[in-house]
A and B are shown apart, each in its own frame.
Chain A
Amino acid sequence: MLQRYWFGDLDEQGCRGAGTDPAALAKRAATLRTGMESYIPIEWETARDCGVVRDREEYIDLLRAVCTTLARKKIAIAYQSRDVELLQMVRMLDELDNVINLLSERAAEWYQVTNPAFSRKYRYLPAKKMPGIIKRGARGGLADVADEIDRLAGVRSRLMREVSARADEVMPNVSALIGGLVAARLLSRAGGLSTLARMPGSTIQVLGSEQALFSHLRGGTPPPKHGIIFQHRRVHNAPREVRGRVARVLAAKLAIAARLDYYRGVLVPEFLDDAQKRIDEAGVVA
């Protein structure tokens, strides 16, 4: 039986070595297809008898060089797809949100201490507006911090636009259904477009509500109706009694959209019109 190994081919007539150039060997190894029924593990001495290497040390060195080359190539391919960077972008965006919130709450606390007459009660003062007030009223370290928060907020909104644009490009159909930002968050939760495309609608529906889901599966608690897709207006604006239905229909359509994005990668208007209609119908209270 012919055995095809990384260093050469082996059969009853003997052994044909494939050279000693790691790059060439890696190229050849990538094309090998092994049937496991008649497979026999390598004995490294064969490679020596074949004339590819002189001793065990050389054998392992060459094998390492070949495997490393192959691995580097595979890593490069895995990172090539556009969704991989989008993943990091959206995670950075969510992290920025966290940091900005933490910093501005802390800055607000600090400001109140330096300004005994100040209170946020009975004034419409969301955390967003606080850095501006602090910048005007404070000096020194606190003013610096407020400045920095402002700058971070700018970074955040620019990044948000970038994420949206990239999501439109990477997943046009999903983005058309729920908007680029939420689409990107789904992608981030799923871990990639190929994973998202393989998910059933019911999984997409509860992506991001894993805690509620597992507490439901472990026992007792009601199942979650929606995870990340709650962030879409058609879900959170829907009346309570139909919200579950809207989430379910939307998720089902998202699953199809993700597959279209993964396998076709272009906008499919016929699908979108039909899907939008179905989702709107689901939101109608009987």
Chain B
Amino acid sequence: MIRIGNVLVSPGEGGVYGERMLEGYRVWDPYRSKFAAYYLLGGELELEPGMRVLYLGAANGTTVSHVADYVETVYAVEFAPRPMQDLLEVARRRKNIVPIMADANRPYEYAPFMEGVDLIYQDVAQPDQIGIAEKNLIFLKPGGHLVLMLKTRSVDVRRDPADVVEEARAGLSQHLDVVDLRWLEPYHHDHAAIVCTRRG
């Protein structure tokens, strides 16, 4: 990952959402993007130039645009029409984003478009985030990674976030090796990044 001082940046055409530029690079703000927060908090999973990425919960395409700066292809899945409008605009300008309007809970809707990917990045505000991740593992190559941004408050507002994360970790480790677990404080409250590797 490219850092200037301790600012995380990405290479690419700026002006996607009014982000700041620094020495010709796009500043990747940890308060807006959980992925950026993960890196600034010491996350070690590098985005490589050859990677193919499945991005679940692409929303307006702000984080997607930064990921696309680093990797080869991003399959960006989003369900809601309003953010999809913005995502299409981002994808129009970045030739390595494939915008897919579908429900991440129903992988069969976009399976006819998918190739095997090296990384699944998931950031969805749904109760069954672990179930969604498991359903999408079919697209992950052996040895590939899953980065799950767990929104504990979407799972259940009444439960202690630490319990929710523990349960998620237990669920994921049935099929995957959990290699990293990181709370995203102070940038995002009650969110944790869980990084897993698919057994090869």
Q: Which A residues fall within an 8 A CB radius of B?
A: 4-6, 29, 32-36, 39, 41-44, 60-61, 63-64, 66-68, 70-72, 74-75, 78-79, 214, 217-218
Chain B residues lying within 8 Å of A214, measured Cβ to Cβ, are 157
Instruction: Determine if B138 and A41 form an interchain contact, defined as CB atoms under 8 angstroms apart.
Output: yes
Chain A residues lying within 8 Å of B84, measured Cβ to Cβ, are 71, 74-75
Whole-angstrom distance from the CB of A42 to the nearest CB of chain B? Answer: 4
Chain B residues lying within 8 Å of A60, measured Cβ to Cβ, are 73, 95-96, 98
Please name 23 pairs of A and B residues whose Cβ atoms are closer than 8 Å in the assembled complex, sorted by A. A5-B112, A6-B112, A29-B112, A29-B113, A33-B108, A39-B111, A41-B116, A41-B117, A41-B139, A42-B114, A43-B116, A60-B95, A64-B99, A66-B113, A67-B113, A68-B92, A68-B99, A70-B101, A74-B81, A74-B84, A75-B85, A79-B81, A214-B157
**The residue from B81, B95, B100, B108 contacting A67, defined by CB atoms under 8 A apart:** B100
Instruction: Determine if B98 and A39 form an interchain contact, defined as CB atoms under 8 angstroms apart.
Output: no
Instruction: Determine if B139 and A75 form an interchain contact, defined as CB atoms under 8 angstroms apart.
Output: no
Interface residue B88 (Cβ < 8 Å from any Cβ of A): yes
**The residue from A6, A36, A44, A64 contacting B138, defined by CB atoms under 8 A apart:** A36
- Size band of the interface chain B makes with A: 20 to 34
Chain A residues lying within 8 Å of B88, measured Cβ to Cβ, are 68, 71-72
Instruction: Determine if B91 and A68 form an interchain contact, defined as CB atoms under 8 angstroms apart.
Output: yes
What is the bound-complex CA distance between A15 and B125, given in angstroms?
39
Instruction: Determine if A67 and B99 form an interchain contact, defined as CB atoms under 8 angstroms apart.
Output: yes
Q: A75 and B111 in contact (CB under 8 A), knowing A41-B116, A61-B95, A67-B98?
A: no
Chain B residues lying within 8 Å of A41, measured Cβ to Cβ, are 111, 114-117, 138-139
Interface residues of B in 67-101 (CB under 8 A from A): 73, 81, 84-85, 88, 91-92, 95-101
Instruction: Determine if A35 and B100 form an interchain contact, defined as CB atoms under 8 angstroms apart.
Output: no
Ranked 6 nearest A-B pairs via Cβ: A71-B101, A78-B81, A41-B116, A34-B111, A42-B115, A75-B81
Chain B residues lying within 8 Å of A32, measured Cβ to Cβ, are 112
Instruction: Determine if B158 and A64 form an interchain contact, defined as CB atoms under 8 angstroms apart.
Output: no
What is the bound-complex CA distance between A72 and B138, given in angstroms?
27
Chain B residues lying within 8 Å of A35, measured Cβ to Cβ, are 108
Chain A residues lying within 8 Å of B138, measured Cβ to Cβ, are 36, 39, 41
What is the bound-complex CA distance between A217 and B156, given in angstroms?
11
Instruction: Determine if B108 and A34 form an interchain contact, defined as CB atoms under 8 angstroms apart.
Output: yes
Interface residue B107 (Cβ < 8 Å from any Cβ of A): yes
